[in-house]
Amino acid sequence: MFKTLFSYFKPHKKIFMADMFCAFMVAAVDLAFPLVSRRAMYDLLPENKYRAFFAVMAIVAIAYLLRAFAQFIMTYWGHTFGVRVEADIRRDLFYHFQELDFEFYDKNRTGNLMNRLTGDLFEITELSHHGPEDVLISTLTIIGSLIFMFWMEWRLALVIAILLPIFILLVIKNRRSMSEASVNVKKRMADINSEIESRLSGVRTSKAFANEEVDRDHFDDSNELFKGAKKEYYRTMGRFMASQEFFMGIMPVAVIAFGGWLIMEGRMNYIDLITFTLFVSTFVTPIRKLSNFAEIFASGTAGLKRFIEIMAVKPVVIEKEGAKPLEVTKGEVKLENVSFSYNDVKEVLKGIDLDIRPGETVAIVGHSGGGKTTLCQLIPRFYDVTGGRITIDGTDIRDVTKSSIRQNVGIVQQDVFIFADTILENIRYGKPDATYEEVVRAAKRAEIYDDIMAMPDQFETYVGERGTKLSGGQKQRVSIARIFLKDPKILILDEATSALDTITEEHIQESFEELAKGRTTIVIAHRLSTVQDADRIVVVEDGLIVEEGTHEELLAKNGEYAKLYNA
C-alpha cells in the first residue's frame, strides 16, 4: 500500500526533501533549547556571565525565528506537495475510470465514484503531507529527548521510558479501530453522494410526481446510516483522545513527583529537574503530533485502500499486445456465429450471423429486450463477444485497438448526452481539433444552424446541465452535428428518434439520410415507418435473427415483421 503512495512522491522529491529538512530543523531547535538552558543555568548565571547569557538567549531567539521560517515552509510547501500528490493520484484514477468498460459502470453508481475522486483523495493528501513530516519530527524529538534524559538522570528517564510503550500500544490499538471505523464512514459518505447525485439528477421527475417527500425519506435513510458510522468513529476517537490526555497529564506529574524525591534524597538538583521538565514539554508536542497522526493515518489509509482497490479493477475488454490501428476502407461489417451474455448469466445473443455490405443501410427491429442494442454495442467493442467473432473489412475487432474501432464507428443514441458547456464545444466534441468553420458546416448539415443563430449568444450559448436549455430535437441535432464532424465510415443509429414527436422526427430523418450517404449504416428502430426504405431489414427476437429482407419481402412473408408492422 505504501509502496504505491511513495511512488507518487518521486516527481516531487525536491519539495519533499525541503519539507523533511525543515522538519529536521524544527526537531533540532526543540531539542537544543533545554540543553542550552541547562548549560546557561549551570555555567553562565552562577559565574555572573550575564553578557554571554543574553548573547546565548539572542542566538536561541534567532534559532526560533529560523524555526518559524521552517514551519512556514512546512505549511506552505508541505501542503503544496500534498496537493500535487493528490492531483497526480486523481489524474491516474480518472484515466483508469476512462479505461474501464461499460460493464463496470453498469455496476457502480456515479456518486460513489465521485466520492473516490474527491473525499478519499483529500485524506490521502493529508497523509502524504503530514505523515512523513510528523513521524520525522516526533521520532527525532522523542528519541533525542530520551537520550538526553538518560544522560542527565537515568532513574527519572526510566519513568518516561515505562510510560511511553504503554502509550504507543494504546495508539496502535486505537489506530486499528479508527481505521476500520473510517472505512465505514467513507462507504456511508459514498452512499450519500450516490443518493444526492441520483435525487438531484431526477429532480424534475420528482417534482412532476410531487414526490419530494419520498426523496427526502431516501436521503434521510442514507444520512442516518452516515450519522451512525460517524458516531462509531468519534466514539473510538474519544476513547483515544481521553487516554492521550491522561498520559499527557500524568507524565509531568510523574517527573515532578519522582524528581522531587530524588532532590530530597540529594541525588538530583533543581537545574536538572527544570531541564527535565523542559524536555517533557518538548516531549509532549511530538506525542500530540503522533496522536493526531493516528487519526490522519486512519483516514488516509482508508482512502488509500479504496484507491488501490479501484485501481486493481481491470477492464474486461482487453486489447491484444501489439494491437494495431484499424484501417477502414470499405466499411463491411460481419458477425459470424456471435453469442453474448452479461456476466455469463443469461445468453442475450445466440449464434448471430449477419453480413452488412459496404455502404448498405440495415435496419434491426424486434420487440424490446430481444438483443438489438446489445448487438450494436458489440460492434464498437463496448463489450466482448462470448462466442464467435465480429470483423470490419475482414479484420477481427479483437486484433486492433479499441480507440481506432470507435474512431471509425459513429453512434447516435436515443438518450443524447449534452455536456454543461456551450453549443460550440458540444458539437466540437465530435472532433476536438475542429475549426469554427468546420463546426458551422456540421451544424448546417445537421439543420440546427438556424436554431443556434436565433439563440442569445449563438454558438457560445451555454446549454445548461445535460442540455436542459435545448429541446429534444435540438439535442438530437447536436449529436448529429457531432457525427458529421467525426465523419466515421460506419454509423449506428440506436433508437435515435424514438423520444421525438412525429414532425421533429421527420425533419431529423432527413438529417439522418444525409448523414448515412456513403456510410455503412445500422439502424435500430421501434417505429417501423423510419426503416421502410432500408436496403435490408433484420428481425431479432430472443437473441436470434428470425427474418431478413426488404420491407416488401418481409410483408409478403406475413411473419414476425408483418405482425410488428400491422400492430
What CATH number has the domain bearing residue 355?
3.40.50.300
Q: CATH number, domain at 151?
A: 1.20.1560.10
Of 413 and 488, the one with more pLDDT: 488
Amino acid at 238: G
Same domain, 271 and 386: no
Model confidence band, residue 257 (pLDDT cutoffs 50, 70, 90): confident
Rg (CA), the chain: 35
Same domain, 239 and 337: no
Closest CA to 372 of 187, 149, 546, 125: 546
Asked whether the predicted pLDDT for residue 129 surpasses 70, the reply is: yes
What is the CA 151 to chain-centroid distance, rounded? 52
Provide the number of structural domains found in the chain.
2
Domain boundary (311, 345, 366) is at 311
Same domain, 384 and 295: no
Least confident of 75-79, 166-170, 326-330: 166-170
SS3 of 210-263: CCHHHHHHHHHHHHHHHHHHHHHHHHHHHHHHHHHHHHHHHHHHHHHHHHHHHH
**Position 79 in a domain:** yes
Same domain, 76 and 203: yes
pLDDT of residue 494: 80
Amino acid at 64: Y
CB 404 within 8 Å of CB 366 = no
Say how many CA atoms lie within 13 Å of 144 toward its Cβ: 21
Same domain, 337 and 303: no
The mean of the pLDDT values for the chain is 81
Residue carrying the nine cell digits 490526555: 245
Averaged pLDDT for residues 220-230: 78
Amino acid at 549: G
pLDDT of residue 496: 64
pLDDT of residue 507: 67
Of 336 and 508, the one with more pLDDT: 336
Asked whether the predicted pLDDT for residue 143 surpasses 60, the reply is: yes
Averaged pLDDT for residues 261-278: 81
pLDDT tens string 35-62: 888 888 878 777 778 888 888 889 989 9
**Position 510 in a domain:** yes
Distance CA 78, CA 88 (A): 16
Averaged pLDDT for residues 195-214: 70
Measured over the CA atoms of residue 454, residue 458, residue 463 and residue 467, the dihedral's sign is positive
Say how many CA atoms lie within 13 Å of 204 toward its Cβ: 4
| CA 27 to each of CA 79, 81, 136, 139: distance values in angstroms, whole numbers, following the listed order | 19, 20, 8, 9
Which ranges constitute the DSSP H helices of 395-457? 402-408, 423-428, 436-445, 449-453
- In degrees, rounded to 5, the angle at the alpha carbon of residue 494 between the alpha carbons of residues 492 and 500 is 130
pLDDT of residue 65: 93
pLDDT tens string 426-445: 888 888 888 888 888 888 88
CB 480 within 8 Å of CB 461 = no
Within the chain, how many helices (H) and strands (E) appear?
A: 19, 10
**Position 318 in a domain:** no
pLDDT tens string 501-536: 666 666 667 777 777 777 888 888 777 767 777 888
CB 496 within 8 Å of CB 413 = yes
Residue carrying the nine cell digits 494495431: 324
pLDDT of residue 68: 92
User: Quick one: which H or E segment has residue 410?
Assistant: strand 409-413
The grid cell for 194 is: 450516490
β-pairing, 346-356 vs 333-342, is: antiparallel
**Position 327 in a domain:** no
Distance CA 384, CA 551 (A): 31
Asked whether the predicted pLDDT for residue 126 surpasses 90, the reply is: no
Same domain, 282 and 142: yes
Same domain, 55 and 196: yes
User: Quick one: which H or E segment has residue 540?
Assistant: strand 536-541
SS3 of 120-156: HHHHHHHHHHHHHHHHHHHHHHHHHHHHHHHHHCHHH
| Phi-psi category of residue 344: left, alpha or beta, with phi > 0 → left and psi -120 to 50 → alpha | left
**Position 197 in a domain:** yes
Asked whether the predicted pLDDT for residue 204 surpasses 70, the reply is: no
CB 367 within 8 Å of CB 519 = no
Q: 10 Å Cβ neighbour count for 556? A: 11
CB 244 within 8 Å of CB 166 = no
Residue carrying the nine cell digits 422526427: 505
Q: By percentage, how much of the chain surpasses pLDDT 90?
A: 2
The grid cell for 564 is: 410488428
Burial class (CB in 10 A: 0-12, 13-18, 19+), 351: middle
**Position 346 in a domain:** yes
**Position 328 in a domain:** no
Least confident of 89-98, 204-213, 379-388, 475-484: 204-213
Helix pair angle (154-201, 270-311), 10° resolution: 30
pLDDT of residue 499: 55
CB 355 within 8 Å of CB 334 = yes
pLDDT of residue 9: 86
Domain boundary (255, 276, 311) is at 311
**Position 324 in a domain:** no
Instruction: Collect all residues with Cβ–Cβ distance below 8 Å to 507 and sequence separation of at least 6.
Output: 447, 473
Distance CA 195, CA 222 (A): 7
Same domain, 307 and 351: no
Same domain, 294 and 341: no
Model confidence band, residue 208 (pLDDT cutoffs 50, 70, 90): low
CB 471 within 8 Å of CB 501 = no
Q: Containing domain of residue 225, as a range?
A: 2-311
Helix pair angle (13-39, 270-311), 10° resolution: 170
Starting at the earlier edge strand, list the strands of the sheet with 395-396: 346-356, 333-342, 387-392, 395-396
Of 176 and 64, the one with more pLDDT: 64
Same domain, 293 and 355: no
The grid cell for 90 is: 486523481
Same domain, 201 and 142: yes
Three-state SS at 338: strand
Same domain, 284 and 347: no
Domain boundary (276, 311, 346) is at 311
Kindly write down the DSSP assignment for every residue of 343-392, as one continuous string: TTTEEEEEEEEEEE-TT-EEEEE-STTSSHHHHHHHTTTSS--SEEEEEE
Burial class (CB in 10 A: 0-12, 13-18, 19+), 162: exposed
The grid cell for 447 is: 439543420
- In degrees, rounded to 5, the angle at the alpha carbon of residue 97 between the alpha carbons of residues 91 and 102 is 165
Kindly state the DSSP code that residue 328 receives in the 8-state scheme. Answer: -
